[in-house]
Structure 1
Amino acid sequence: MPDWMTILLDAVILLPALMLFVRIAGLRSFAKMSAHDFAVTVATGSVVASTVVNPSTPWSMGLLALAALLAVQTAIGAFRVRVKRAQHWTDNEPLVLMRDGLVREEALVEARMTRDDLRQKLRGAGVTRMADAALVVLETTGDVSVLTEPPEDTLVAELRGIGAPPPGPTGSL
Protein backbone atom coordinates (compact mmCIF):
# COMPACT_ATOMS: atom_id res chain seq x y z
CA MET A 1 0.00 0.00 0.00
CA PRO A 2 1.39 3.47 -0.82
CA ASP A 3 2.56 5.59 2.10
CA TRP A 4 -0.17 8.20 1.58
CA MET A 5 -2.85 5.53 1.90
CA THR A 6 -1.24 4.15 5.06
CA ILE A 7 -1.22 7.64 6.56
CA LEU A 8 -4.88 8.16 5.64
CA LEU A 9 -5.88 4.74 7.02
CA ASP A 10 -3.97 5.35 10.27
CA ALA A 11 -5.73 8.70 10.74
CA VAL A 12 -9.14 7.20 9.97
CA ILE A 13 -8.57 4.48 12.57
CA LEU A 14 -6.69 6.35 15.32
CA LEU A 15 -8.74 9.53 15.63
CA PRO A 16 -12.10 7.80 16.14
CA ALA A 17 -10.40 5.32 18.48
CA LEU A 18 -8.91 8.20 20.45
CA MET A 19 -12.34 9.83 20.72
CA LEU A 20 -13.79 6.52 21.96
CA PHE A 21 -11.00 6.08 24.52
CA VAL A 22 -11.53 9.62 25.78
CA ARG A 23 -15.27 8.99 26.10
CA ILE A 24 -14.51 5.86 28.13
CA ALA A 25 -11.76 7.44 30.25
CA GLY A 26 -13.67 10.71 30.71
CA LEU A 27 -13.01 14.33 29.92
CA ARG A 28 -10.24 14.45 32.48
CA SER A 29 -8.12 12.70 29.83
CA PHE A 30 -7.23 16.10 28.40
CA ALA A 31 -7.90 18.31 31.38
CA LYS A 32 -4.93 20.33 32.51
CA MET A 33 -5.29 19.36 36.16
CA SER A 34 -1.98 17.88 37.18
CA ALA A 35 1.46 16.92 35.94
CA HIS A 36 0.38 13.44 34.91
CA ASP A 37 -2.60 14.84 32.98
CA PHE A 38 -0.28 17.16 31.09
CA ALA A 39 2.18 14.36 30.37
CA VAL A 40 -0.57 12.11 29.01
CA THR A 41 -1.92 14.91 26.82
CA VAL A 42 1.50 15.52 25.28
CA ALA A 43 2.24 11.80 24.92
CA THR A 44 -1.15 11.15 23.30
CA GLY A 45 -0.53 13.80 20.67
CA SER A 46 2.91 12.39 20.03
CA VAL A 47 1.59 8.83 19.64
CA VAL A 48 -1.12 9.87 17.19
CA ALA A 49 1.25 12.05 15.16
CA SER A 50 4.09 9.55 15.02
CA THR A 51 1.77 6.69 14.11
CA VAL A 52 -0.03 8.64 11.39
CA VAL A 53 3.06 10.25 9.88
CA ASN A 54 5.34 7.21 10.04
CA PRO A 55 4.01 4.52 7.69
CA SER A 56 6.34 1.92 9.24
CA THR A 57 4.46 2.18 12.57
CA PRO A 58 1.35 0.01 12.36
CA TRP A 59 -1.92 1.56 13.47
CA SER A 60 -2.38 -1.32 15.89
CA MET A 61 0.73 -0.21 17.82
CA GLY A 62 -0.58 3.35 17.96
CA LEU A 63 -3.93 2.06 19.17
CA LEU A 64 -2.25 -0.04 21.86
CA ALA A 65 -0.10 2.92 22.95
CA LEU A 66 -3.17 5.19 23.23
CA ALA A 67 -5.08 2.60 25.22
CA ALA A 68 -2.10 2.09 27.53
CA LEU A 69 -1.57 5.82 28.12
CA LEU A 70 -5.21 6.46 28.94
CA ALA A 71 -5.42 3.33 31.12
CA VAL A 72 -2.38 4.41 33.13
CA GLN A 73 -3.80 7.92 33.48
CA THR A 74 -7.14 6.52 34.66
CA ALA A 75 -5.35 4.29 37.17
CA ILE A 76 -3.25 7.18 38.50
CA GLY A 77 -6.38 9.34 38.76
CA ALA A 78 -8.22 6.64 40.71
CA PHE A 79 -5.19 6.06 42.93
CA ARG A 80 -4.85 9.75 43.81
CA VAL A 81 -8.55 9.91 44.74
CA ARG A 82 -8.31 6.87 47.01
CA VAL A 83 -4.91 7.61 48.57
CA LYS A 84 -4.74 11.21 49.81
CA ARG A 85 -0.92 11.26 49.97
CA ALA A 86 -0.69 10.23 46.31
CA GLN A 87 -1.96 13.65 45.31
CA HIS A 88 1.24 15.12 46.75
CA TRP A 89 3.25 12.99 44.29
CA THR A 90 1.16 13.75 41.22
CA ASP A 91 -0.05 17.31 41.62
CA ASN A 92 1.58 20.68 41.92
CA GLU A 93 0.43 22.95 44.72
CA PRO A 94 -1.17 26.34 44.10
CA LEU A 95 1.17 29.21 44.90
CA VAL A 96 0.11 32.71 45.94
CA LEU A 97 2.04 35.23 43.83
CA MET A 98 0.32 38.39 45.07
CA ARG A 99 -1.91 39.28 47.98
CA ASP A 100 -3.65 42.60 48.53
CA GLY A 101 -1.78 44.24 45.67
CA LEU A 102 1.65 43.23 46.95
CA VAL A 103 3.99 40.89 45.08
CA ARG A 104 5.47 37.93 46.95
CA GLU A 105 8.99 38.00 45.49
CA GLU A 106 9.94 34.59 46.94
CA ALA A 107 6.87 33.08 45.25
CA LEU A 108 7.89 34.56 41.89
CA VAL A 109 11.33 32.98 42.32
CA GLU A 110 9.76 29.64 43.23
CA ALA A 111 7.42 29.86 40.21
CA ARG A 112 10.32 30.94 37.98
CA MET A 113 8.32 33.97 36.90
CA THR A 114 9.49 37.51 36.38
CA ARG A 115 7.59 40.65 37.31
CA ASP A 116 7.02 41.14 33.58
CA ASP A 117 5.39 37.69 33.40
CA LEU A 118 3.16 38.66 36.32
CA ARG A 119 2.27 42.01 34.78
CA GLN A 120 1.29 40.25 31.56
CA LYS A 121 -1.06 37.94 33.46
CA LEU A 122 -2.57 40.89 35.32
CA ARG A 123 -3.16 42.80 32.09
CA GLY A 124 -4.69 39.69 30.56
CA ALA A 125 -7.14 39.62 33.47
CA GLY A 126 -8.02 43.28 32.92
CA VAL A 127 -6.12 44.56 35.97
CA THR A 128 -4.40 47.89 35.28
CA ARG A 129 -3.03 48.62 38.76
CA MET A 130 -1.23 46.14 40.97
CA ALA A 131 -3.12 47.51 43.97
CA ASP A 132 -6.34 46.20 42.39
CA ALA A 133 -5.17 42.57 42.58
CA ALA A 134 -6.59 41.13 45.77
CA LEU A 135 -5.13 37.68 45.14
CA VAL A 136 -3.04 36.21 42.30
CA VAL A 137 -2.46 32.45 42.36
CA LEU A 138 -0.34 30.21 40.17
CA GLU A 139 -2.72 27.26 39.98
CA THR A 140 -1.81 23.57 39.91
CA THR A 141 -2.40 23.62 36.15
CA GLY A 142 0.09 26.40 35.48
CA ASP A 143 -2.71 28.91 34.87
CA VAL A 144 -2.70 32.16 36.81
CA SER A 145 -5.91 33.16 38.59
CA VAL A 146 -6.40 36.84 39.34
CA LEU A 147 -9.04 37.92 41.87
CA THR A 148 -9.87 41.59 42.19
CA GLU A 149 -12.21 41.10 45.14
CA PRO A 150 -10.92 39.83 48.48
CA PRO A 151 -11.52 36.07 48.49
CA GLU A 152 -13.60 34.14 50.97
CA ASP A 153 -11.31 32.59 53.55
CA THR A 154 -12.61 29.13 52.67
CA LEU A 155 -11.38 29.48 49.08
CA VAL A 156 -7.79 30.17 50.02
CA ALA A 157 -7.43 28.47 53.40
CA GLU A 158 -5.05 25.80 52.08
CA LEU A 159 -2.93 27.97 49.78
CA ARG A 160 0.70 28.57 50.66
CA GLY A 161 1.57 32.18 51.29
CA ILE A 162 -1.84 33.52 52.28
CA GLY A 163 -0.59 35.15 55.45
CA ALA A 164 -0.01 38.83 55.80
CA PRO A 165 1.27 40.42 52.62
CA PRO A 166 4.94 41.31 52.51
CA PRO A 167 5.83 44.97 52.86
CA GLY A 168 6.53 46.73 49.65
CA PRO A 169 5.32 49.35 47.25
CA THR A 170 2.25 48.98 45.12
CA GLY A 171 1.92 50.72 41.84
CA SER A 172 0.54 50.71 38.41
CA LEU A 173 1.52 48.31 35.69
Structure 2
Amino acid sequence: MTVWSHNLGISPLEALWVILSATGIYAAFFVLIRTAGQRALASWSTMDKAIVIAFGSVLGRVVLGYTPTLAAGVIGLATMFALFRLEAVLRRTRRGAYFSSKPILLMAGEQVLQAGLRSAKIVEDELYFKLRQAGIRNFSEVALVVLEPTGDVSVLRRGELIDPLLLRRIPNRDSIPAHLVLPG
Protein backbone atom coordinates (compact mmCIF):
# COMPACT_ATOMS: atom_id res chain seq x y z
CA MET A 1 0.00 0.00 0.00
CA THR A 2 1.45 3.38 -0.98
CA VAL A 3 1.76 6.33 1.37
CA TRP A 4 -0.83 8.14 -0.74
CA SER A 5 -3.56 5.52 -0.38
CA HIS A 6 -2.59 4.72 3.22
CA ASN A 7 -2.86 8.35 4.37
CA LEU A 8 -5.64 9.58 2.08
CA GLY A 9 -7.58 6.36 1.49
CA ILE A 10 -7.31 6.73 -2.28
CA SER A 11 -4.63 5.97 -4.83
CA PRO A 12 -3.62 8.42 -7.59
CA LEU A 13 -5.33 6.18 -10.17
CA GLU A 14 -8.54 6.11 -8.11
CA ALA A 15 -8.35 9.91 -7.76
CA LEU A 16 -8.09 10.20 -11.54
CA TRP A 17 -11.18 7.97 -11.91
CA VAL A 18 -13.10 10.22 -9.50
CA ILE A 19 -12.15 13.27 -11.61
CA LEU A 20 -13.17 11.50 -14.84
CA SER A 21 -16.43 10.27 -13.29
CA ALA A 22 -17.30 13.72 -11.97
CA THR A 23 -16.56 15.26 -15.37
CA GLY A 24 -18.66 12.63 -17.15
CA ILE A 25 -21.60 13.05 -14.79
CA TYR A 26 -21.40 16.85 -15.08
CA ALA A 27 -21.43 16.61 -18.88
CA ALA A 28 -24.33 14.13 -18.87
CA PHE A 29 -26.31 16.31 -16.46
CA PHE A 30 -25.66 19.36 -18.64
CA VAL A 31 -26.88 17.58 -21.79
CA LEU A 32 -29.95 16.17 -20.03
CA ILE A 33 -30.94 19.56 -18.60
CA ARG A 34 -30.47 21.19 -22.03
CA THR A 35 -32.62 18.46 -23.57
CA ALA A 36 -35.34 18.73 -20.91
CA GLY A 37 -35.38 22.53 -21.17
CA GLN A 38 -35.69 25.31 -18.62
CA ARG A 39 -38.87 23.77 -17.27
CA ALA A 40 -36.74 21.12 -15.59
CA LEU A 41 -35.36 23.86 -13.34
CA ALA A 42 -38.69 25.52 -12.54
CA SER A 43 -40.52 25.06 -9.25
CA TRP A 44 -40.67 21.43 -8.24
CA SER A 45 -43.40 19.28 -6.79
CA THR A 46 -42.78 17.02 -3.80
CA MET A 47 -42.21 14.10 -6.17
CA ASP A 48 -39.66 16.13 -8.19
CA LYS A 49 -37.75 16.88 -4.98
CA ALA A 50 -37.72 13.19 -4.02
CA ILE A 51 -36.40 12.29 -7.46
CA VAL A 52 -33.65 14.92 -7.17
CA ILE A 53 -32.58 13.45 -3.82
CA ALA A 54 -32.47 9.98 -5.42
CA PHE A 55 -30.46 11.39 -8.36
CA GLY A 56 -28.00 12.92 -5.91
CA SER A 57 -27.52 9.61 -4.19
CA VAL A 58 -26.95 7.77 -7.48
CA LEU A 59 -24.63 10.48 -8.79
CA GLY A 60 -22.62 10.47 -5.58
CA ARG A 61 -22.03 6.75 -5.83
CA VAL A 62 -21.06 7.01 -9.50
CA VAL A 63 -18.60 9.84 -8.88
CA LEU A 64 -17.03 8.42 -5.73
CA GLY A 65 -16.91 4.75 -6.71
CA TYR A 66 -17.60 1.67 -4.61
CA THR A 67 -15.63 2.63 -1.52
CA PRO A 68 -16.11 6.34 -0.97
CA THR A 69 -13.51 8.06 1.15
CA LEU A 70 -13.17 11.60 2.40
CA ALA A 71 -10.41 12.23 -0.12
CA ALA A 72 -12.58 10.92 -2.99
CA GLY A 73 -15.44 13.13 -1.81
CA VAL A 74 -13.22 16.22 -1.70
CA ILE A 75 -11.75 15.43 -5.13
CA GLY A 76 -15.24 14.85 -6.61
CA LEU A 77 -16.60 18.03 -5.05
CA ALA A 78 -13.58 20.08 -6.18
CA THR A 79 -13.95 18.71 -9.71
CA MET A 80 -17.66 19.65 -9.82
CA PHE A 81 -16.91 23.17 -8.53
CA ALA A 82 -14.10 23.57 -11.08
CA LEU A 83 -16.46 22.51 -13.89
CA PHE A 84 -19.11 24.90 -12.57
CA ARG A 85 -16.59 27.78 -12.64
CA LEU A 86 -15.40 26.76 -16.13
CA GLU A 87 -18.99 26.85 -17.37
CA ALA A 88 -19.44 30.33 -15.85
CA VAL A 89 -16.29 31.55 -17.65
CA LEU A 90 -17.44 30.00 -20.93
CA ARG A 91 -20.85 31.72 -20.61
CA ARG A 92 -19.07 35.08 -20.88
CA THR A 93 -17.43 34.18 -24.19
CA ARG A 94 -18.81 34.71 -27.69
CA ARG A 95 -19.96 31.12 -27.87
CA GLY A 96 -21.40 31.22 -24.37
CA ALA A 97 -24.95 31.39 -25.71
CA TYR A 98 -24.88 27.60 -25.98
CA PHE A 99 -24.46 27.39 -22.20
CA SER A 100 -27.41 29.61 -21.33
CA SER A 101 -31.02 29.32 -22.35
CA LYS A 102 -33.02 32.19 -23.75
CA PRO A 103 -36.14 33.46 -22.04
CA ILE A 104 -39.40 32.17 -23.49
CA LEU A 105 -42.44 34.43 -23.81
CA LEU A 106 -45.52 32.63 -22.43
CA MET A 107 -48.01 35.52 -22.45
CA ALA A 108 -48.03 38.86 -24.22
CA GLY A 109 -50.77 41.05 -22.80
CA GLU A 110 -53.87 38.93 -22.34
CA GLN A 111 -52.83 36.44 -25.03
CA VAL A 112 -51.49 33.05 -23.99
CA LEU A 113 -48.79 32.06 -26.49
CA GLN A 114 -49.25 28.36 -27.23
CA ALA A 115 -45.93 28.15 -29.09
CA GLY A 116 -44.15 29.49 -26.00
CA LEU A 117 -45.91 26.99 -23.74
CA ARG A 118 -44.95 24.12 -26.06
CA SER A 119 -41.35 25.32 -26.27
CA ALA A 120 -41.18 25.65 -22.48
CA LYS A 121 -42.92 22.29 -21.95
CA ILE A 122 -45.48 24.01 -19.71
CA VAL A 123 -49.21 23.27 -19.72
CA GLU A 124 -51.80 26.02 -19.28
CA ASP A 125 -52.68 24.87 -15.75
CA GLU A 126 -49.06 25.47 -14.67
CA LEU A 127 -49.20 28.93 -16.25
CA TYR A 128 -52.42 29.69 -14.36
CA PHE A 129 -50.78 28.54 -11.14
CA LYS A 130 -47.90 30.97 -11.72
CA LEU A 131 -50.37 33.78 -12.45
CA ARG A 132 -52.27 33.09 -9.22
CA GLN A 133 -48.97 32.91 -7.34
CA ALA A 134 -48.14 36.40 -8.66
CA GLY A 135 -51.49 37.73 -7.43
CA ILE A 136 -53.07 38.01 -10.88
CA ARG A 137 -56.87 37.89 -10.71
CA ASN A 138 -57.67 38.65 -14.34
CA PHE A 139 -55.81 38.31 -17.64
CA SER A 140 -56.26 42.04 -18.20
CA GLU A 141 -53.70 42.65 -15.40
CA VAL A 142 -50.94 40.86 -17.34
CA ALA A 143 -48.36 42.68 -19.44
CA LEU A 144 -45.93 39.76 -19.89
CA VAL A 145 -45.22 36.30 -18.60
CA VAL A 146 -41.73 34.98 -19.32
CA LEU A 147 -40.01 31.69 -18.52
CA GLU A 148 -36.55 32.87 -17.53
CA PRO A 149 -33.30 31.01 -18.32
CA THR A 150 -33.16 30.02 -14.63
CA GLY A 151 -36.49 28.19 -14.89
CA ASP A 152 -38.34 30.87 -12.91
CA VAL A 153 -41.49 32.42 -14.33
CA SER A 154 -41.64 36.24 -14.29
CA VAL A 155 -45.04 37.90 -14.35
CA LEU A 156 -45.01 41.60 -15.27
CA ARG A 157 -48.20 43.54 -14.53
CA ARG A 158 -49.72 46.27 -16.60
CA GLY A 159 -49.41 49.83 -15.39
CA GLU A 160 -45.87 50.96 -16.02
CA LEU A 161 -44.49 50.67 -19.55
CA ILE A 162 -41.75 48.07 -20.03
CA ASP A 163 -38.24 49.24 -20.90
CA PRO A 164 -37.23 47.59 -24.23
CA LEU A 165 -33.80 46.80 -22.77
CA LEU A 166 -35.47 44.28 -20.45
CA LEU A 167 -36.81 42.47 -23.51
CA ARG A 168 -33.61 42.25 -25.55
CA ARG A 169 -32.95 38.50 -25.23
CA ILE A 170 -36.58 37.46 -25.72
CA PRO A 171 -36.72 35.91 -29.21
CA ASN A 172 -40.34 36.74 -30.14
CA ARG A 173 -40.63 40.12 -28.43
CA ASP A 174 -42.34 41.53 -31.53
CA SER A 175 -45.52 39.75 -30.37
CA ILE A 176 -45.66 42.04 -27.30
CA PRO A 177 -48.34 44.70 -27.82
CA ALA A 178 -46.62 48.04 -28.52
CA HIS A 179 -48.79 49.89 -26.00
CA LEU A 180 -47.09 47.91 -23.18
CA VAL A 181 -43.53 48.90 -24.12
CA LEU A 182 -41.74 52.26 -23.82
CA PRO A 183 -41.05 53.77 -27.25
CA GLY A 184 -37.45 53.53 -28.22
Contact 2:102–2:169 (8 Å) recurs in 1: no
With over 3 angstroms needed to count, the CA separation of the structure-2 counterparts of 1:65 and 1:118, relative to structure 1, is: same
1:61 counterpart residue number: 72
Please give the alpha-carbon distance, in whole angstroms, between the structure 2 residues aligned to 1:157 and 1:123: 26
1:153 Cα deviation from its structure 2 partner: 1.3
- 1:124 counterpart = 2:142: no
With over 3 angstroms needed to count, the CA separation of the structure-2 counterparts of 1:49 and 1:58, relative to structure 1, is: same
Please give the alpha-carbon distance, in whole angstroms, between the structure 1 residues aligned to 2:94 and 2:105: 22
Once the two structures are aligned, what percentage of the paired residues are identical? 30
Question: Secondary structure of the residue that 2:136 maps to in structure 1?
Answer: coil
1:91 counterpart residue number: 100
Please give the alpha-carbon distance, in whole angstroms, between the structure 1 residues aligned to 2:88 and 2:175: 35
1:163 Cα deviation from its structure 2 partner: 1.3
Match among 91, 104, 117 for residue 80 of structure 1: 91
Contact 1:48–1:62 (8 Å) recurs in 2: no
Instruction: Give the length in aligned residue pairs.
Output: 125
- 1:138 counterpart = 2:135: no
2:117 counterpart residue number: 108
Question: 2:94 corresponds to which letter in structure 1?
Answer: K
Unaligned runs of 5+ in 1: 1-34, 167-173
1:59 Cα deviation from its structure 2 partner: 1.3
The TM-score, its normalising length taken from structure 1, stands at 0.62
Moved over 4 A (4+): 42-51
With over 3 angstroms needed to count, the CA separation of the structure-2 counterparts of 1:46 and 1:89, relative to structure 1, is: farther
With over 3 angstroms needed to count, the CA separation of the structure-2 counterparts of 1:109 and 1:64, relative to structure 1, is: same
Question: 2:103 corresponds to which letter in structure 1?
Answer: P
Please give the alpha-carbon distance, in whole angstroms, between the structure 2 residues aligned to 1:49 and 1:64: 12
CA offsets, 1:4-63, max 9 Å, x none? xxxxxxxxxxxxxxxxxxxxxxxxxxxxxxx69x99xx7995489659xx9931111011
With over 3 angstroms needed to count, the CA separation of the structure-2 counterparts of 1:49 and 1:79, relative to structure 1, is: closer
Please give the alpha-carbon distance, in whole angstroms, between the structure 2 residues aligned to 1:65 and 1:106: 40
With over 3 angstroms needed to count, the CA separation of the structure-2 counterparts of 1:137 and 1:70, relative to structure 1, is: same
The TM-score, its normalising length taken from structure 2, stands at 0.58
Please give the alpha-carbon distance, in whole angstroms, between the structure 1 residues aligned to 2:90 and 2:134: 35
